Amino acid sequence: MIDCSSQEISLDKDAFGPDFQWGVSVAAYQIEGAHDIDGKGLSIWDVFSNTKGKIKDNQNGNTACDFYHRYKDDIQLIKKLNIPNFRFSISWSRILPQGTGIINQKGIDFYKDVINSCLALGIEPWITLYHWDLPQELEKLGGWTNREVIGWFQEFVSICALNFGDRVKHWMVMNEPVVFTGAGYFLGIHAPGKRGMKNFLPAIHHTTLAIAAGGRLLRELLPKANIGTTFSCSYIQPYRNLKRDQKAAKRVDALLNRLYIEPLLGLGYPEKELPVLKGIQKIMKPEDAQNMVFDFDFIGIQNYTREIIKNSYLMPYIKAALVSAPERKVPITEMKWEVYPESIYEVIKQFNQYPQIRKLLITENGAAFKDQMTDGEINDKQRISYIKENLKQVLRAKQEGFNVEGYFIWTLTDNFEWAEGYHPRFGLIHVDFETQKRTLKQSAYWYADFLKGKSNKSIESNNALKEATT
């Protein structure tokens, strides 16, 4: 049993230490909009979200939060909320409309302006190079199933490093590879909508090689940069105390938590638990085992929930099934994910078992709830409670001596939430997608006060922040 000791933990920013990194995370396709202006090419998500039946209610990210036109105001809000670090991604097809070749200078200029706007306000930019939006022209050539994608990605990385590296210290190579390869190249529920193991296995391997290649290129071009990459992680537990459920949980853990981090650390793919991964050997070249490895300065782990697993002979390859949170009648978010703060503590512990990892940061954590606006205000108590309880578990891990040096909330504004469209709202800031009006939620006020060093939100500072953002 887990010792759920967060109730005894006093939540104080100073307890995390002076070097702990605090921030907020966003992704280009989810917020930028401006999908076809100023020279931008189509990405796989532009095509996928504009294909009927792919997104809930046939919504798309064509406008999203219109960050492309409103970035200065949004960055001002980050400053008003006392958030010192802003993690955002670069749209590959805004920089290279065809995925390779001719550079779109207007795209370069846009991201330079975003970076400069951050720096002018004392906000540190953290760039994610790839957050799922592969240029459509490259997908026509096979996308992540084509080994040439490694070179295409290196070209993109090089352009970003040479154009932004003089001002950006912190870099993340990729975001959650198991999600974009699994959902996009096996299940077909995310862009580009491909299915089957014949797509999934080459996508896994080429993505792993590209992550390491991107890290090496950044190190060569920006030797003083702080270089990392991020992984989605869920605490995995068996449904019953049965050997078959325990083995099933280990298989799911290998898929969700170990698939990418272990080859990047030089440990190889977890083939023992997932024999289907042996199929990758057919496409491996002799030098690949060495080329998959890179010594990152930090690893970002992104956690939202835990998963309960039971054995299932009907599920191909993995012989395991999730026991859903609604089925277990536990507290859930709008995504139907279990609210289980101890999960973040457990994944910190799990990743601390890798001695090769220099530093861990939580680069995403947050929750979507049904936000109700009353008299122009959103009192999102559930989100505040979620963030508080997760932070207590992060602090618990840190106080027990585990390596964790940062926490970034997902996300700044409500946005386009992939296949779920605009329905789940994760933001600290509410967006009216008809008018693009921003409204700070109570969680934003709470986070602002917490980062200012106040344990509890005060009425005075709340009112002052309202006046400053009106």
User: Catalytic residue at 364?
Assistant: yes
User: Is residue 417 annotated as a catalytic residue, yes or no?
Assistant: no
Bridge partners, residue 282, by sequence? none
Written in H, E and C, the secondary structure of the chain is CCCCHHHHCCCCHHHHCCCCEEEEECCHHHHCCCCCCCCCCCEHHHHHHCCCCCCHHHCCCCCCCCHHHHHHHHHHHHHHCCCCEEEEECCHHHHCCCCCCCCCHHHHHHHHHHHHHHHHCCCEEEEEEECCCCEHHHHCCCHHHCCCHHHHHHHHHHHHHHHHCCCCCEEEEECCHHHHHHHHHCECCCCCCCECHHHHHHHHHHHHHHHHHHHHHHHHHCCCCEEEEEEEEEEEEECCCCHHHHHHHHHHHHHHHHCCHHHHCCCCCCCCCCHHHHHHHHCCCCCHHHHCCCCCCEEEEEEEEEEEEEECCCCCCCCEEECCHHHHCCCECCCCCECCCHHHHHHHHHHCCCCCCCCEEEEECCCCCCCCEECCEECCHHHHHHHHHHHHHHHHHHHCCCCCCEEEEECCECCCCHHHCCCCCCCCEEECCCCCCEEECHHHHHHHHHHCCCCCCCHHHHHHHHHHHC
Query: Which burial class, exposed, middle or buried, applies to 375 when counting CB atoms under 10 A from its CB (0-12, 13-18, 19+)?
Result: exposed
Determine contact, residues 197/186, Cβ cutoff 8 Å. Answer: yes
Q: Which two tokens stand for residue 269?
A: 């793919």
163 contacts: CB under 8 Å, gap ≥ 6: 108, 111, 112
Q: Are 41 and 135 in contact (CB under 8 A)?
A: yes
| Other CB atoms within 10 Å distance of the CB of residue 330 | 15
Structure-block tokens of residue 29: 């396709």
Catalytic residue among 176, 307, 338, 342: 176
How far is it, in rounded angstroms, from Cα 6 to Cα 142?
A: 47
Catalytic sites, residue numbers: 176, 364
